[in-house]
Structure 1
Amino acid sequence: MNTPYAYNAWYPLAWARDIGRTLATRRVLEEDLVVFRTEGGKVAALEDVCPHRLAPLSLGTLRGDAVECGYHGLAFDCTGKCISAPGMARAPTGAQVRSYPTAESMGMVWVWMGDADKADPGQVFRLPEYDDPNYSVVEGDALPVRANYLSLADNLCDPTHVVYVHKTTLASAGREETRVMHERQGNKVITWRWVIDGPLIPVFQGLKDFGGANVDRWHYYHYHAPCIAVIDFGSARTGTGAPEGNREDCIQMFACHFITPIDQHSCMQHWLCLKNSPADPEVDARLLSSLRLAFNEDKQVLEAIQRNEDKPREWKRINLALDASSIKMRRIVEEMAGSAT
């Protein structure tokens, strides 16, 4: 069964570092886009098709701030308007391709896939800690996942899978029954759990010296529908008051996941990490390696699930108590998709 798309929303398009003065292609919500930077540095995104013979514009050439079709040379400006055509004194009337509003935030280019009049750049997601000098940024990857984007969203609303999937990176043994809490706030779902008086998880090793003492560990999963997940997780020495709000002497990280729905069977997971410690090449490289391992563990499970979902057979999912956040998240996406119709 197809999952819904909420078109009136900002979606991650690409890492800003990957878009320059050459034509690039991206697919979002089953729509193909050609993307480039103008001479002034702004990102332009156009429908990747020439209205003449339907050749992809991405096969053409960037000339100044216009895309020249590689089939018959029609040129389109950043608004999608045809500004010239070979052998014609004027560009053909009605030769227009769709343009998409874009914005940049947190090292990402974002694109608005719905009604352009409703696109507000001020609503593009930005985590306050991204601009906080007490935190350093570890920019990650664009991980292709051959699974529906809401399957990845399920994963990012679910702390309970960590003890089974991420045993060598994000979990400690013996905490399978730790209580999980959840609530909805508007178009956001928050899911959280605390692990009290336990060992430091592997990914935190070497980031802070707790003298071998046990820690109190928190995981807060903030899912902003339809495509953003921020996981606030950290540790403080047991008994220092972290559950009550005292986190002055702690490790804290924000794992940010920006999901691009490509189609019903695939998505792109852009991720980065913020940590409350200075940038350090050796530490950051080790952290990147651990997080890549963890997110590839998720990828392996989610792609196997998608293969089962694609099989032509009758089946019905069952829900457990631990699915409450995922159910809330999917309901929000359905509401957002329905409000645009």
Structure 2
Amino acid sequence: MTAFAYNAWYPLAWSRDIGREIVTRRVLEEDLAVYRTEEGVVAALEDACPHRLAPLSIGRLRGDAIECGYHGLTFDCSGQCVHAPGMPRVPESFRVRSYPTAESMGMVWVWMGDPEKADRSQVFHLPQYDDPAYSVVEGDALLVQANYLSLADNLCDPTHVVYVHQTTLASAGREETRVQHERQGNKVVTWRWVIDGPLIPIFEGLKDFGGNVDRWHYYHYHAPSIAVIDFGSARTGTGAPEGNRDDCIQMYACHFITPIDQRSCVQHWLCLKNSPADPAIDERLRSNLRMAFQEDKRMLEAIQRNEDKPREWHRIHLGLDGSSIKMRRIVEEMAAGNG
């Protein structure tokens, strides 16, 4: 069983999906009732009335408070009960847990651990998101019926691309290209370069390099649940490996993972690209990325089904597993120290 790190900011939902209707989200096996206040701030409360455990998410909003749909107990954004039918004075002990929230990069984030340790300045934000040289292609909230660390393994691993994503992200003949990795605090960086090769299918039509390219893949995994993949291409021989990327295609594929429970997670994804927004190009890119992530989903869910079967099995490790081993060690350290 996976031990969760609670003192961390987790993606909760797309900002676009949270409004003045109560919705429910599950994070780290805990159910939350989520909504916006009249001023637009996101509130997240434990989704269970302490009277008889009726879900607050099937209640109704009274201003900025939730009224339980069973007996009318009403809880404000802090989780304090402010009205209990038949009781002129509500005891202080009548309350539900409230979770700190923040918004960044079009996402609502939630702090599942000690609220005293919730530092909103530490919510993840990629500088390129605000850079006018980049445009944003917002994606989906993909339900994956697999443990979130299995998805994390995938997002620390450039080598699977050749086999899983042959029609979208890979080109043939590069199976043995060297992969490097290192730990940087609570982050693992994994990278590989492909020198003098063709454009990957997803980049075709975006820029004409007139021939082969040098392309890079840098996988930045911020434990416990954020992955940013910096990938791009430049005309071969123009110095991209040395840092000259003035004339290139560059994208950041951002993956914000919500662990639901031991066997499921949500993969929120978006893409930043160093070219202007274009409805036709953006929709093609979104469609291709959606296809690629469905390919991952199919593989990871099949793995989870096998993991759930009783069997005699001892995991073997390959050289390519180094970065995922580092990632899992960081998560174990965070979980052991509650963040």
Deviation at 1:78, TM superposition (A): 0.1
CA contact (8 A) 1:228 1:257 kept: yes
Amino acid in the other structure paired with 1:163 = V
Distance 1:105 1:36 in 2: 17
Q: Does 1:282 align with 2:263?
A: no
Structure 1 residues 82-101: aligned runs within 5 Å: 82-101=81-100
Matched, 1:301 2:294: no
The code of the aligned residue for 2:308 comes to: D
CA deviation map 1:24-80 (0-9, x unaligned): 000000000000000010000000000001100001001100000000000000000
Structure 2: which amino acid aligns with 1:284? Answer: D
Deviation at 1:318, TM superposition (A): 0.5
Query: Deviation of residue 200 (structure 1)?
Result: 0.4
Query: After superposition, where does 1:238-317 map in structure 2 within 5 Å?
Result: 238-317=236-315
Partner residue in 1 for 2:209: 210
* TM alignment of 1:187-206, pairs within 5 A: 187-206=186-205
Q: Give the TM-score of the pair, scaled to structure 1.
A: 0.99
Q: Residue type of the partner of 1:263?
A: D
| CA deviation after TM superposition for structure 1 residue 91, in Å | 1.9
Contact 1:85–1:92 (CA<8 Å) still a contact in 2? no
- The residue correspondences of 1:58-207 to structure 2 (distance < 5 A) are 58-207=57-206
Alpha-carbon offset, residue 315 of structure 1: 1.0
2:6 maps to a residue whose letter is: Y
**Aligned partner of residue 326 in structure 1, secondary structure:** helix
Question: Structure 2 counterpart of 1:331, which letter?
Answer: R
Q: Is the 8 A contact 1:23 1:61 kept in 2?
A: yes
Q: Which residue of 1 aligns with 2:319?
A: 321
What is the root-mean-square deviation in Å for CA atoms of aligned residues?
0.7
Taking the TM superposition and a 5 Å limit, the aligned residue runs for 1:51-62 are: 51-62=50-61
Q: Letter of the aligned partner of 1:270 in structure 2? A: H
The one-letter code of the counterpart of 1:336 is M
CA-CA distance at 1:309 after TM superposition? 0.3
Distance 1:100 1:181 in 2: 38
Instruction: Please report how far the alpha carbon of residue 92 of structure 1 lies from its aligned counterpart in structure 2 after TM superposition.
Output: 3.6
Check conservation: 1:258, 1:270, Cα contact below 8 A.
yes
Deviations 1:218-244 (CA, angstroms, capped at 9, x unpaired): 000000000000000000000100001
CA deviation map 1:203-256 (0-9, x unaligned): 001111112x10000000000000000000000000100001000000000000
| One-letter code aligned to 1:246 | N
Equivalent-residue separation in structure 2 for 1:234 and 1:119 (angstroms): 35
1:284-339: per-residue Cα shift (whole Å, max 9, x none)?
00000000000000000000000000002221111100000000000000000011
Structure 2: distance between partners of 1:93 and 1:239 = 69
Q: Quote the Cα distance in structure 1 between the aligned partners of 2:209 and 2:36.
A: 47
The amino acid across from 1:311 in the alignment is: K
Instruction: Map Cα deviations across residues 152-175 of structure 1 (whole Å, 9 max, x no partner).
Output: 000000000000000000000000
State whether structure 2 residue 13 is matched by structure 1 residue 14: yes
Shift of 1:340: 1.8
Aligned residue type for 1:166: H
Give how far 1:93 is off.
3.9
Assess if the C-alpha contact under 8 Å between 2:80 and 2:92 holds in 1.
no
**CA deviation string 1:78-110 (max 9, x = no partner):** 000000011221224411100000000000000
Q: Is the contact between residue 34 and residue 45 of structure 1 (CA under 8 Å) also seen in structure 2?
A: yes
Aligned residues: 339
**Structure 2 residues without counterparts, runs of 5 or longer:** none
